[in-house]
Amino acid sequence: MFVKDVTVQNQVGLHARPATFFIQKANEYKSSIWIEKKERRVNAKSLLGILSLGIVGGTDIRIIADGSDEQTAVDALVDLVESGFNDENR
């Protein structure tokens, strides 16, 4: 299991479009991946799960992965969050 904490940088947080990009990135990995906000943990590959957390800009979240590519997955997702989802214009 690999875990990292990160602060959501973009203003809107993980809503609709940024959450979709996050899920697409998470689905590139075989590991099971979760997002944790305070005491709630949801599947990072589930749009409804992520949206249910109500993550706004400035929120601290924890990204957790468990599997063969766990560290690579967490590092890539942390980079995406820290970038403020700048690659939204793909």
| For the chain, domain boundaries | 2-89
Architecture category of domain 2-89 in CATH: 2-Layer Sandwich (3.30)
Q: Catalytic amino acids?
A: 15
> pTM (2 decimals)?
0.92
CA distance 88 to 43: 21
pLDDT the model gives residue 86: 73
Q: 85 near 62, Cβ under 8 Å? A: no
User: 């099971």: which residue's tokens?
Assistant: 32
Name the more confident of 14 and 46. Answer: 46
- Convert the pLDDT of each residue in 52-75 to its tens digit: 999 999 999 999 999 999 999 999
Residues sharing a CB contact under 8 Å with residue 24, sequence separation 6 or more, in sequence order: none
